[in-house]
């Protein structure tokens, strides 16, 4: 089942509630929430108080992507603030085994994120415990960047590896996804598709999210 996760980074922050309603009416089940610390990535976005407000406003699952140097400390605080899923970067977490287990013990799904150039092999020992793996298809820090094509090979390799191990974690992708390439990423094995500018940059975000989902489902149906 393919899910489109609109990324609030591309929303109009002065109208966040309204923008969330637009994609909610279109039937999305998740919202993607990018937290940046100005250190691990060269940008800042929003944080705990905004997540707390959104938690009161929406019943959609909140998928928090922590682009944080100190994710080990902050991850549990985002669960407490209302996140349903929290992902942390392999590159930023020296204690990632502990962090992933902590996220789960606090009651959320735990994901691990890889930058485009970080090898899949670095995940070997945590794959059996993660709920999802997020593969970045741009270098994190900004919305609206161009999709890096070699990440498609990473997605296929991760799907094959997961299937060989008999595991069932979800594969998420983030960065540069639009209606034009969503079919390819779904065919490669992605089930959670993050989309920022292609959803909230469109005149009708709800419609854009629905069209992306349909494009993914059409690509999968053609292959079947």
- The catalytic residue positions are 34, 174
Query: Does 216 engage in binding with ligand DX5 (CB under 6 A)?
Result: no
Beta strands 61-67 and 30-36, pairing class: parallel
Binder of ligand DX5 out of 11, 26, 34, 170 (CB under 6 A): 34
Query: Does 71 engage in binding with ligand DX5 (CB under 6 A)?
Result: no
Instruction: Tell me how many residues contact Zn ion (CB under 5 A).
Output: 3
Binder of ligand DX5 out of 123, 173, 195, 202 (CB under 6 A): 195
Partner whose footprint covers residue 138, from Zn ion, ligand DX5, none (CB < 5 to 8 Å by kind) = ligand DX5
| Contact by Cβ (8 Å): 31, 57 | no
Candidate segments 88-96, 158-166, 172-180, 213-221, binder of Zn ion by CB under 5 A: 172-180
What residues numbered 23-42 form the site for Zn ion, per CB under 5 A?
34
| Contact by Cβ (8 Å): 110, 87 | yes
**Nearest position to ligand DX5, beta carbon:** 196
| Contact by Cβ (8 Å): 66, 77 | no
Neighbours of 91 (CB within 10 A): 17
Closer residue to Zn ion in complex, CB, 30/222: 30
| Contact by Cβ (8 Å): 212, 199 | yes
> Measured between alpha carbons, how far is residue 169 from residues 132, 180, 189 in Å?
5, 26, 11
Query: Does 110 engage in binding with ligand DX5 (CB under 6 A)?
Result: no
Candidate segments 57-65, 78-86, 183-191, 203-211, binder of Zn ion by CB under 5 A: 57-65
Query: Does 89 engage in binding with Zn ion (CB under 5 A)?
Result: no
Query: Does 63 engage in binding with Zn ion (CB under 5 A)?
Result: no
> Taking the complex as a whole, how short is the minimal distance between the CB of residue 32 and Zn ion, in angstroms?
6
Binding residues (CB under 6 A) for ligand DX5: these are: 7, 9-10, 32, 34, 65, 138, 140-145, 174-177, 194-198
């Amino acid at each position: 089942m393919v899910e489109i996760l609109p990324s609030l980074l591309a929303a109009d922050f002065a109208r966040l509630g309204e923008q969330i309603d637009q994609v909610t009416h279109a039937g999305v089940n998740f919202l993607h929430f990018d937290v940046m610390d100005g250190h691990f990535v060269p940008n800042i976005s929003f944080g705990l108080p905004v997540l707390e407000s959104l938690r009161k406003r929406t019943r959609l699952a909140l998928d928090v992507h922590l682009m944080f140097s100190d994710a080990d400390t902050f991850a549990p605080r985002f669960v407490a603030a209302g996140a349903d899923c929290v992902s942390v970067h392999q590159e930023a977490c020296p204690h990632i085994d502990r962090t992933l287990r902590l996220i789960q013990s606090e009651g959320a799904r735990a994901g691990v994120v890889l930058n485009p150039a970080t090898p899949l092999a670095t995940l070997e020992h945590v794959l059996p415990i993660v709920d999802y793996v997020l593969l970045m298809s741009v270098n994190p820090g900004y919305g609206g960047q161009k999709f890096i094509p070699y990440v498609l090979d990473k997605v296929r390799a991760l799907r094959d590896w997961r299937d060989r191990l008999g595991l069932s974690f979800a594969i998420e992708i983030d960065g540069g996804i639009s209606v034009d390439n969503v079919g390819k990423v779904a065919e490669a094995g992605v089930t959670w598709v993050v989309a920022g500018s292609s959803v909230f940059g469109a005149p009708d975000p709800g419609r854009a999210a629905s069209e992306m989902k349909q494009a993914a489902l059409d690509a999968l149906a053609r292959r079947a």
